[in-house]
Amino acid sequence: MTRYVFITGGVVSSLGKGIAAASLASLFKLRGFKVSLQKLDPYINLDPGTMSPIQHGEVFVTEDGAETDLDLGHYERFVGIKMTQDSNVTAGRVYSNVINKERKGEYLGSTVQVIPHITDEIKDLIIRGSKKSDIAFVEVGGTVGDIESLPFLESIRQFSLDLGKSNAIFVHLTLLPYINVTNEIKTKPTQHSVKELRSIGIQPDILLCRGRNPINQAMKNKLALFTNVSKDSVFSAVDAKSIYDIPILFKEQKIDDCIIKNLGIKTKKLNLKPWNDYRSKVSKCKKSVKVAMIGKYVDLVDSYKSLNEALYHAGVLNSRVVEITYLDSEKITSANIKSLRFMNAILVPGGFGNRGIEGKILAAKFARENNIPYLGICLGMQISVIEYARNVLNLKNANSTEFNIKTNNPVVALVEEWKDRSGNKIIADKNNLGGTMRLGSQECLLKKNSLVYQMYKKINIAERHRHRYEVNGNLVSHFDKSNLVFSGISKKGNLMEIIELNNHPWYVGCQFHPEFTSSPIKGHPLFNGFINAASKRKT
Ligand code: GLN
């Protein structure tokens, strides 16, 4: 039987519930339990696919092609299990399921209501997401007190009632603000947050208190008294140097033992070696390597969450601290491009829309002409193809039809547009943008004598996609005799998946997103190779 650990958040958002949930799940996986993770998101969108990365952060793509919350990326990286379509449930999905059932007559005769119809649907989705694991960790997005989260909180309250107290427990992650002037840590916001939870029938079993410093026993006693939580179930969750230290920090406080006690399960021996080894590798990283990331969503680092993590992982595996300089592609001009010379490597990440495109093209050109290691991801690969077509092959005004629908050299275009060779009038349906992408993991075959083959050391790879446009199969012959090689091609042979330059030390573009499958322990072949090349470059 599956047991459930629900994780809620109090006082403010962005406390790191996802990392806390992932760290706890990791400790149980390393004890040999079968664990699952799921995120419940209270917003109305069916999925975050149509949201701006600047508002919501990165959209994490699962192997089976779901566009999900970035916390699922932490789950995969910390626990090493694959998330699926069922691992992220939004209020929009719940309501859409219920409305579909209502239309099919499944509730014939009843008035469809939040309780029990919406809450029953949520409970069903929680059971489906738990995948018959021993322990399911379920994170409720948002902050206790938000109107939107109420149906979710009501559902997990019912869940614990249905299953019995010790089969479903509640962990509340909260903030203890520190007041500088009086040198005090305040417990009042946490008291109120727990009061709010208790008013809807949820008594937290465990409190994880976020703050800059650990809290002492007196503070724990006070919190316990006011929140009705046992004194030995109040813990500190301090800011860590690296997020990958958090499983160790949780273990040091025996938070996992407390969960085991609350769930009333038999303990198994914990093997913390992978995290201890990782920590010791991190401590050996002294030298730094500078990567310029030429993006559009540079104001919110969370927009490139998995990418930042993948670079960091590759840094650790190369004994380097990766320093990322985020540069707004709109501000890059031919006058200031030379400053990139001081970078060890240049990365152009994924993106949508034509804002900042010309700056990215300048950066790709600069990397190509100056032998600077370059990694272009998704849009970043398309940029390289456009740049090469324009500046080396002299295909005038070469472009993607995403940016210029009238270009007479559409080297990147929607597959439906490839057929139109006239080049003048390509009409794309841009009205229906939700769920119209090439998504999820797909197979790709590598050329044996290529740079990427040296990285992956195998021919058959599978990587995750999230894009609409492709290198135009009708125009690839233009590149035949050039130094730009299509070194990875889709299994069917029609889609260009990887490009590289065979007259450059390390220049790779990939149509997929390798960052989604990088892990702290293994990194990812492309990022490991990229950072290795970057550390060899003298600036
Ligand atoms: N906008 C491009 C496309 O849709 C690239 C997408 C991306 O970088 N994820 O094909």
Per-residue model confidence as pLDDT tens digits over 151-209: 999 999 999 999 998 999 999 999 999 888 988 889 999 999 999 999 999 999 999 99
Give the tokens for residue 456. 């992956």
Which phi and psi angles does 472 have, rounded to 5°? -70, 110
Other Cβ atoms closer than 10 A to 261: 18
Catalytic residues: 378, 513, 515
CA 213 to chain centre: 28
pLDDT(421) > 80 = no
Q: pLDDT tens digit string along 311-344?
A: 999 999 999 999 999 999 999 999 999 999 999 9
What structural domains and CATH numbers belong to the chain? 3-277 (3.40.50.300), 286-536 (3.40.50.880)
Q: Is the Cβ atom of 402 under 6 angstroms away from ligand 1?
A: yes
Tell me if 63 CB under 6 Å of ligand 1.
no
Q: Give the model's pLDDT for residue 107.
A: 94
Question: CA 44 to CA 162: how far, in whole Å?
Answer: 27
Q: Residue 363: its pLDDT value, please?
A: 97
Which strands, in side-by-side order, build the sheet including 460-467? 321-328, 288-295, 345-348, 374-377, 507-510, 496-501, 484-490, 438-446, 460-467
What is the predicted pLDDT for the residue at 50?
83
Residue with CA closest to ligand 1 atom 3? 467
Instruction: Report the pLDDT value the prediction gives residue 298, as an integer from 0 to 100.
Output: 67
Q: Is the dihedral of CA 14, 17, 23, 25 positive or negative?
A: negative
Q: Cα of 414 to ligand 1 centre, how many Å?
A: 11
Q: Does residue 465 line the site of ligand 1, with CB under 6 A?
A: no
Average pLDDT, the chain: 93
- The average pLDDT across 131-143 equals 95
* pLDDT band (50, 70, 90) for residue 423: very low
Kindly give the number of the ligand 1 atom that is closest to the alpha carbon of 352.
Answer: 1
Give the model confidence (pLDDT) of 460-512 as tens digits: 999 999 999 999 999 999 999 999 999 999 998 989 999 999 999 999 999 99
State the average pLDDT over residues 374-403. 97
Q: Is 516 in the pocket of ligand 1 (CB under 6 A)?
A: no
Q: What is the pLDDT of residue 12?
A: 85
Which segment of 19-28, 55-64, 503-512 scores lowest on mean pLDDT?
55-64
The reported pLDDT for the residue numbered 11 is: 85
Residues 384 and 361: their CA atoms lie apart, in Å, by 7
pLDDT of 424 strictly over 90: no
Query: Which residue did the predictor score with more confidence, 77 or 182?
Result: 77
pTM: 0.93
154 contact partners, CB below 8 Å, separation of at least 6: 114, 115, 119, 200
What is the distance in A from the centroid of ligand 1 to the CA of 437? Answer: 9
Question: Does the pLDDT of residue 429 top 90, yes or no?
Answer: no
Atom of ligand 1 nearest to the CA of 470: 10
Name the closest-CA residue to atom 8, ligand 1: 350
Measured in Å, residue 205 CA sits from the centre of ligand 1 at 44
For residue 50, report the distance from its CA to the centre of ligand 1, in Å: 13
CB 395 within 8 A of CB 478: yes
Over residues 79-92, the mean pLDDT reads 97
To test ligand 1's pocket by mutation, which of 52, 303, 382 has the most ligand atoms within 8 angstroms of CB? Answer: 382
How far apart are alpha carbons 153 and 218 in whole angstroms? 30
Of residues 51 and 232, more confidently modeled: 232
Compute the distance from residue 519 Cα to the ligand 1 centre, in Å.
Answer: 23
**Mean pLDDT over residues 143-149, rounded?**
93
pLDDT of residue 268: 86
Nearest CA to ligand 1 atom 5: 379
Average pLDDT of the residues in 510-529: 97
pLDDT at 63 over 50: yes
Decide: 352 in ligand 1 pocket, CB within 6 A: yes
Distance CA(32)–CA(26), nearest Å, equals: 10
- What percentage of the chain carries pLDDT values higher than 70? 96
CA of 348 to the centre of ligand 1 (A): 12
